[in-house]
Amino acid sequence: MTEEIKTLPPKRGAPLWAQILTLAGLIALLTMVWLILGKRQQGSVQPGEVIPDFSLTLFKDYQYNEQTQVSLSDFAGKVVVLNFWASWCKPCEQEAAELEAAWKFYEARGDVIFLGIDYVDTEPEALLYLKKFGITYPNGPDLRTKISQMFRIRGVPETYFINRSGVLRYVQVGPFTTLQQIQSIVDSILAE
Amino acid sequence: MNRQLPITIYVLSLALVLTALTAGRAFAQGPQPPTDDEVNAVAKELFCPVCENTPLDVCPTQACRQWRDQIRSLLAEGKTSDEIKQYFVDTYGDRVLNEPPRTGFNWLAYIVPPLVILLGALSVVRTLKGMKKPVVVSPAGGADRSEARRLAEDDYAARFEEEVRKRK
């Protein structure tokens, strides 16, 4: 009596629908990771880019043309100097006086506006900071960090110079050290 | 008239008791600021918006100290933990939460991991099923597989016993 003993290969592989589902899920996951990493590596907005409109609710005691909320579109035709700061940020203190001096220098012209955006801060400390440095240009908190996310800032202080057409012309990462530094950038944009 | 007097006394007594209770509560809340433990209980459920992946209760930066003070102030105002968390979300965005809110795109974070685990488990089960004992197949195809296997084992045992007997 002879018998042949065979070992059948085990049945392998999931059903087709499961394979397709897994593959689709994997592709979706990789796409998400790719998009998120791409966005993170993109860095801050670059000169030459048109800045989309955004709104800023100003701190109490701050107004612009009797408005407590301003939008970038309100400043069409003006050079906008947008400064991100925070009360807990020591380098911000280095440039606070220079920014206010620059604002005072250009305020009377009417074609330059300075705007302070307070990044992830607590209001009492922010108001103390503004009072301490006598900041008079419009300032407000970056609620839900929407504006800083739009600009993809990497920290504070960062200052963005936007020309009359709403195009970003210059980005200053870190504090200004002199008033002349700010003036030279604003003047060059005004001269365009 | 005589009937009205006890009612008046009753109402006045009730008003006095209520006033005393309310005044007592106000007195108790006033001088007792929230403790560090109470502040940290809320803070540990929030993340520092500046230094990523650091819970607010252990974050050593000045910004985090300010935010903990903010929590203390809000607790002193009588805000609940949920109200404080909502305040932080409204002010600093969703990233301060220790888990993403269950809305829109964030649902992927809740759906994908369990789905992947489920598919993985199914795959393991299928693989283990495929790794069962080898099956004996009769070339004649007459007997069923288990019978063929039993016969093969019996034949081997019989030959083994025969060999042992010969050697004795």
Numbered residues of chain A with Cβ closer than 8 Å to any chain B Cβ: 1, 3-8, 10-14, 18, 21-22, 25, 29, 32, 86-88, 120-122, 125, 141, 143-146, 149
A55-190 fold: Glutaredoxin (3.40.30)
User: For A14, which of B49, B66, B122 is closest by C-beta distance?
Assistant: B122
Nearest to A161 by CA among A91, A70, A79, A100: A79
CA distances from B129 to A14, A17, B148 (A): 12, 19, 22
- Residue A37 to residue B87: CA distance in whole angstroms: 29
Whether the CB-CB separation of B87 and B75 falls below 8 Å is answered with no
Burial class (CB in 10 A: 0-12, 13-18, 19+), B70: buried
pLDDT tens, position by position, B99-120: 877 877 777 778 888 888 888 8
Are A141 and A118 in contact, with CB atoms under 8 Å apart? Answer: yes
Residues of A in contact with B126 (CB under 8 A): 12-14
CA A116/CA A132 separation, integer angstroms: 15
Encode pLDDT of A115-128 as tens digits.
999 999 999 999 99
**A13 chain-B contacts, CB cut-off 8 A:** 126
- For chain B, how many helices (H) and strands (E)? 6, 0
Would the CB atoms of A14 and B126 count as touching at under 8 Å? yes
ipTM: 0.74
Dist. CA A142–CA B8, nearest whole Å: 58
Side-chain half-sphere CA neighbours of A6 within 13 A: 10
Does the pLDDT of residue B28 top 50, yes or no?
A: no
What residues of B are in contact with residue A121 (Cβ under 8 Å)?
63, 66
Cβ-based contacts of B67 with chain A (< 8 Å): 122
- Return the pLDDT at B99: 80
In chain A, which residue's Cα lies nearest the Cα of B140? A3
Contact A122 B92 (CB under 8 A): no
Residue B89 pLDDT class (50, 70, 90 cuts): very high
A115 DSSP β-pair partners: A82
Q: What is the pLDDT of residues A59-83, one digit of tens each?
A: 998 999 999 999 999 999 999 999 9
Q: Is the pTM of this model over 0.80?
A: no
- CB contacts < 8 A, A to B, total 81
Q: Where are the domains positioned within chain A?
A: 14-43, 55-190
Q: For chain B, percent helix, then strand, then coil, each to nearest 5?
A: 70, 0, 30
B95: helix, strand or coil: helix
DSSP B98-131: SS--SSGGGHHHHHHHHHHHHHHHHHHHHHHHHT
- Out of B62, B122, B151, whose CB is closest to A88? B62
